[in-house]
Structure 1
């Protein structure tokens, strides 16, 4: 593609060439005609002067010395003179012998006078004899008001044609100089116009390619300047708008990427336009692969697909709970709503999914807790009330029976006291009501001193208790809480290990942590029960734990005591084989709970 200034210059030069050529031809032709007219007038005047001189002696055409007179007159006139009678016979001529000359009646200039009766005749023709053109002027010779002949004056056109050729050369040179000048002016003018336009085109191309920093730098005046300013304003406005759009896009992307809720954008055809990271985690797939896929092709939830189809079909908001079974079982609160175009047509739907699995689990835990607390409180209260009523009904009279009933009332009230105490203690730990008192703790000493308190219980069931060797291992923590962790775990081990079993306690020191490993050969815990054993009042063997005096809060308290030390607890168990609890506590406490 040629540059714009070349096309403008070429068009301008083409137009100027046509104008100059037309003007040159017109001027040359005008000057040629003017020159011919002047020569024609000059020859007519010469013809009249010669005719007057010939007719002065009144002999006219019949003078015997007519030839001599004509030759004499031509010496002072640089023209050829010829006298012809009305029949075309040459009577006198200054160049040739009239007797040898042919009849001139058919010559154009003679015919114009003799036949057409014009005042003068004109003819310009090429002479083969002379080798150049001649201009012939003829005027009538009148006698007695009758045309008696013709006076013809002729002039060589050789000099005139040379003058005309020189005129053409001069005009051509002038026109060529004018062409060059106008070409230079046109090229400069074209560049002054095309330069800003080409820069504007370049800026427009850059704007199309999303380079919003491009600007028209050339300073122009008039309409081009206004256009350049308008393009710069447009580019600035586009840059500002695109920056805002990019900023909003980044904000939206950041919000969507960090949302805990899954977001899915589906068009009217059911194809996915957008999915955030949380949605990918819920469906167990990479969300970047969702784009342009049909919603039935991603995830493995028929319930969700049915809700999407229903929302697309009806155009109404839908809210429902959906169960996911892949990649793991979840309960999801799905909220689907259509997004509408300006004309009111449904353009697609937005699905927002909240994982409510933990909420539902906590609701169940809360419900179980209320039920368990009610049940745990009901038993001792019922016993207290029943035995008190029995005593009031007359059993106090029997001293031995009264003592037995009072002993039972004391045990049940003691159990109720321990239950309430454990609940309050657990609540305090959960709400950080009891701050951690950091001190240097010799964990081996803490474990051994705690084991002394439960040796009697282990001995009653003939259980073998294996304790760690005495070795100084120090950590930062609260000694009472560490001892309570060990006490609760050992108490559970004794409670759920049959007679003749074995309980072992070991301590393993690592670079940054210390592990307590407490194992037993007890009844074990089923795999399905393991995720819930740290819940409050949750019992694997409810009847047996209650008979053992347990409140069902021991492991819940252990879990919170471990968390307060920024540690973690693991459990491994095989039903009928035994259970192992692994407590890991950091040596240094950075963030104290």
Structure 2
């Protein structure tokens, strides 16, 4: 803006200088012409007066009389007077001896006078050494022009006057420029300062500093412009605040959504993804934004549906399987993005991960099948032996007793199964209240081991209890913890061959208590480990059924541990044994 101020100042000063220069030139010319006109008229009158006085023949031809008559009419020598005959010979000159003067027949003013006109000429006089003005009038005798009277006067005074006027004009111009520079600088500053202020605010607005305002109180057009800029800045600030708030809300919604959201442009490039998509696709957002969806999604099925939505502009829903970074089942909604003109400009894809839902559905189906299978076996046995008894086997007392014992065992097994299912349902729904109390862990482990001692002894299993650790007290629900230990120990006894070993460890680790049940049993295949906590899932179904298990023990253990805010894990090698580890917080 400084350049504009300098340009404005120089422009105004240039205009002032030009106006002054033109006016000075005009007035100088007018003054010079006025002086010249006055001098010309003076010389013309002087010449005519002399011509009237000497036009008589006796005077014009007599040089002594001529000189006397001229001196009578013009006694002073302020004006140079020259009388010339028609041949150009000087008859009289009041400033020089006529003998010294050359013939004037070629002088322009003389030639004009001989033609009957008043001759006027300006030129440098070699005789006097400066510019002169010459005015010549004819001397008429009757009807004949017999000569001319020429009057001349130096133009030195006029030239000096005009030169002085030019000096005064230039001095005035210089003073005017100095004063004008100061005045114009102040004026230009007063004009430019509001513009600079408006420019500053406009630049700040482009840099998103919407709180900037123009501090001008003027009532003129500049003030109106400043008011308009301030209103625009205030409106922009409010709009950008609303846009920022909407963006924050949208970003918050997208960031915290468990469903994935992808926006694909009409050029089939990914323009927006939320963190859920990054998790589903296993790729950071900055690596896939800007790429083609077929390249970034790594799923032909998903890309095929996106292309279909882009091409047809229809909204639909499909179930898609993806296999990278892991196999997942997605419920995907495809919808075209319509802009404010009603034109389709892309596709919005919403992905719901239903892998767990499908897994739970499968587990539910398996659960129903397993329950049906497990219930059918004892019911079939009870029904078969009952029918056998009713058909006449009751007559044989020993056979009857054996059949009734089998019916009793199967009924007991059926009862345990139903009881475990009900207990598991209550635990899952957290309908079993926790009664927290200080529990001596070593005593509880010893009590649980005593319950299954007879089972272990029948299989000649050795059991090692925790030793060396001082008494460990834990704030927990005693019944829940005892049921956990009983189920783990029963499981270890059931799957450990005769002569095997079972080891129980209990130790503190920081603010947690770690309980371990280690056996030297048949172990668990690696592929079965993720599923052992499912209902009715058995690694060795025949052995489990022979042991009287229901397949619900580990599922109950898992939910009881979770109710106590703990964690359970398993490590196992097939044929070498299994280790169950329960970690509980020591409150």
The two structures share one fold, judged by TM-score above 0.5: yes
- Alpha-carbon separation, structure 2, partners of 1:146 and 1:174: 56
Separation in structure 2 between the aligned mates of residue 181 and residue 584 of structure 1, nearest angstrom: 95
Structure 1 residue aligned with 2:245:
247
Offset of residue 444 of structure 1: 0.7
**Is residue 216 of structure 2 the alignment partner of residue 205 of structure 1?**
no
Q: 1:157 offset after TM fit, Å?
A: 1.7
Q: Is the aligned partner of 1:455 residue 2:465? A: no
Q: Which residue of 1 aligns with 2:178?
A: 180
Distance in 1 separating the partners of 2:175 and 2:50: 47
Say if 1:88 and 1:382 are closer, same or farther in 2 by CA, change over 3 A: same
Match of 2:277 in 1: 279
Indicate if the aligned counterparts of 1:275 and 1:288 stay in contact, CA closer than 8 A: no
- Is 1:338 aligned to 2:306, yes or no? no
Residues 11-410 of structure 1 aligned to structure 2 (within 5 Å): 11-52=11-52, 54=54, 60-62=59-61, 64-76=64-76, 78-98=78-98, 101-115=101-115, 117-118=116-117, 120-298=118-296, 300-317=298-315, 319-342=317-340, 346-386=344-384, 406-410=404-408
- Quick check: 479-488 or 204-213, which moved more? 204-213
TM normalised by structure 1 equals 0.89
Q: Deviations over 1:259-315 (max 9, x none)?
A: 322333333444333333322222223332223334444465444344444444444
Q: Is the 8 A contact 2:297 2:303 kept in 1?
A: no
Cα 1:136–1:478 shift into 2, 3 Å: same
Where 1:498 maps in the other structure, the secondary structure is coil
SS in 2 for 1:273: strand
> What is the aligned partner in structure 2 of residue 555 from structure 1?
554
1: CA distance, partners of 2:305 / 2:390: 65
**Paired position in structure 1 for 2:514:** 515
Give, in angstroms, the shift of residue 546 of structure 1: 2.5
Shift of 1:481: 1.2
Distance 1:100 1:530, change over 3 A: closer
Deviation at 1:505, TM superposition (A): 1.9
Match of 1:577 in 2: 576
> Structure 2 CA distance, aligned partners of 1:52 and 1:316?
120
Against the structure 1 CA distance between its residues 504 and 49, is the aligned structure 2 distance closer, same or farther, given a 3 Å change threshold?
A: same
**In 2: Cα distance, 1:164 partner to 1:344 partner:** 82
Q: Using the alignment, how far apart are the partners of 2:2 and 2:464 within structure 1?
A: 98
1:368 deviates by 1.4
Are 2:385 and 2:403, in contact at CA under 8 Å, matched by a contact in 1?
yes
Seen in structure 2, the aligned counterparts of structure 1 residues 503 and 98 have a Cα distance that, compared at 3 Å, is: closer
Moved more, 169-178 or 212-221: 212-221
Tell whether the 8 Å contact from 2:502 to 2:518 is kept in structure 1 after alignment: yes
How far, CA to CA, are the matches of 2:52 and 2:185 in structure 1?
A: 64
Partner of 2:481: 482
Aligned counterparts of 2:158 and 2:294: Cα–Cα separation in 1: 101
- Do 1:136 and 1:153's aligned partners in 2 also have CA atoms closer than 8 Å? yes
- Paired residues of 1:74 and 1:94 also in contact (CA < 8 A): no
* Matched residue SS, 1:465: strand
How many angstroms does 1:531 deviate by? Answer: 1.0
2:529 is matched with 530
Q: Per the alignment, do residues 175 and 579 of structure 1 end up closer, same or farther by CA in structure 2, a change over 3 Å counting?
A: closer
Given that residues 338 and 348 in structure 1 are in contact (C-alpha distance below 8 angstroms), is that contact kept between their aligned partners in structure 2? yes
1:403 shift after superposition: 5.2
Quote the RMSD (CA, aligned, Å). 3.0
> Cα–Cα, structure 1 residues 164 and 465, in superposed 2: closer, same or farther, change >3 Å?
closer
Counterparts of 2:514 and 2:162, CA distance in 1: 124
1:575 CA displacement: 2.0
Flag structure 1 segments of 5+ consecutive residues without an equivalent: 589-593
Structure 1 partner of 2:4: 4
Q: Which residue of 2 aligns with 1:568?
A: 567
Equivalent pairs, count: 585
Residue 472 of structure 1, CA deviation:
1.9
1-structure distance, mates of 2:90, 2:219: 78
Equivalent pair of 1:488/1:554 in contact (CA under 8 Å): yes
Per the TM alignment, residue 482 of structure 1 is displaced from its structure 2 partner at its CA by 1.1
Structure 2: how far apart are the matches of 1:2 and 1:449?
96
- Greater alpha carbon shift after TM alignment, 369-378 vs 126-135: 369-378
Structure 1 residues 90 and 422: CA distance shift in structure 2, 3 A: same
In the TM superposition, residue 392 of structure 1 has moved relative to its aligned partner by: 6.0
Q: How many Å apart are 1:407 and its aligned residue?
A: 4.2
Where 1:416 maps in the other structure, the secondary structure is helix
Distance in 2 separating the partners of 1:401 and 1:327: 62
Residue 328 of structure 1 aligns to a residue whose secondary structure is: coil
Residue 100 and residue 452 in structure 1: after superposition, are their counterparts in 2 closer, same or farther (change >3 A)? closer
- Using the size of structure 2 for normalisation, the TM-score is 0.90
- Tell me, yes or no, if the aligned pair for 1:196 and 1:220 is still in contact at 8 Å: no
Secondary structure of 1:580's partner? strand
Could you tell me how far apart the structure 2 residues matched to 1:420 and 1:226 are? 87
Q: Matched residues in 1 for 2:452 and 2:416: separation?
A: 18
**Deviations along 1:46-78, whole A, 9 cap, x unmatched?**
3344445557x9954345522122134433462
Does structure 1 conserve the Cα–Cα contact (< 8 Å) formed by 2:52 and 2:139?
Answer: no
Question: Is the contact between residue 538 and residue 544 of structure 2 (CA under 8 Å) also seen in structure 1?
Answer: yes
Kept in 2: contact 1:4–1:198 (CA 8 A) = no
Once the two structures are TM-superposed, the CA of residue 36 in structure 1 deviates from its matched residue by 0.9
User: Are 1:82 and 1:151, in contact at CA under 8 Å, matched by a contact in 2?
Assistant: yes
Structure 1 contact 517–582 (Cα < 8 Å) conserved: yes
1:318 Cα offset (Å): 5.2
1:453 is displaced (CA, Å) by: 1.4
